Amino acid sequence: MTMATIGIGSLASRSLAPPRGAAQTQLGSQFTSTAALLQGLNPRNCEVTSSFRSLSRRGLTGVRALMGTSGKQQRVEPGPGQESVWDYPRPPSLQPVPERIRIEFNSKTIADTTRAYRVLETSHPPVYYIPQEDIQMEFVQKAQGSSFCEWKGNATYWTVQVEGREAEKVGWSYENPTAPFRAIKSCIAFYAAPMDACYVGDERAQPQPGGFYGGWITSKVVGPFKGGPGSWGW
Q: What is the pLDDT of residues 162-192, one digit of tens each?
A: 999 999 999 999 999 999 999 999 999 999 9
Residue 70 pLDDT grade (very low, low, confident, very high; cuts 50, 70, 90): low
Q: Is the pLDDT confidence value at 160 over 60? A: yes
Query: Does residue 225 sit in helix, strand or coil?
Result: coil
Question: What's at 129, amino acid-wise?
Answer: Y
Q: Is the dihedral of CA 170, 44, 148, 225 positive or negative?
A: negative
State pTM to two decimals: 0.74
CA–CA separation, 115 vs 228, rounded Å? Answer: 30
With residues binned 3-state (H G I as helix, E B as strand, rest as coil), the percentages for the chain, rounded to 5, are 25, 35, 40
Query: Which is nearest to 62 in space by CA: 90, 35, 89?
Result: 35
DSSP code per residue over 19-38? PPSTTHHHHHHHHHHHHHHH
Residue 27 pLDDT grade (very low, low, confident, very high; cuts 50, 70, 90): very low
DSSP, res 154: E
**pLDDT at residue 31 in the model:** 36
CB-based contacts of 87, cutoff 8 Å, min separation 6: 78
Q: Domain range holding 27?
A: 1-234
Question: In this structure, are strands 203-204 and 206-207 parallel, antiparallel, or unpaired?
Answer: unpaired
Q: Is the pLDDT confidence value at 74 over 90? A: no
Q: Is the dihedral of CA 205, 185, 141, 1 positive or negative?
A: positive
Identify the CATH number of the domain in which residue 215 sits. 2.170.150.40
Residue 233 pLDDT grade (very low, low, confident, very high; cuts 50, 70, 90): confident
> Longest Cα pair distance anywhere in the chain, in angstroms?
59
When divided into structural domains, the chain yields a total of: 1
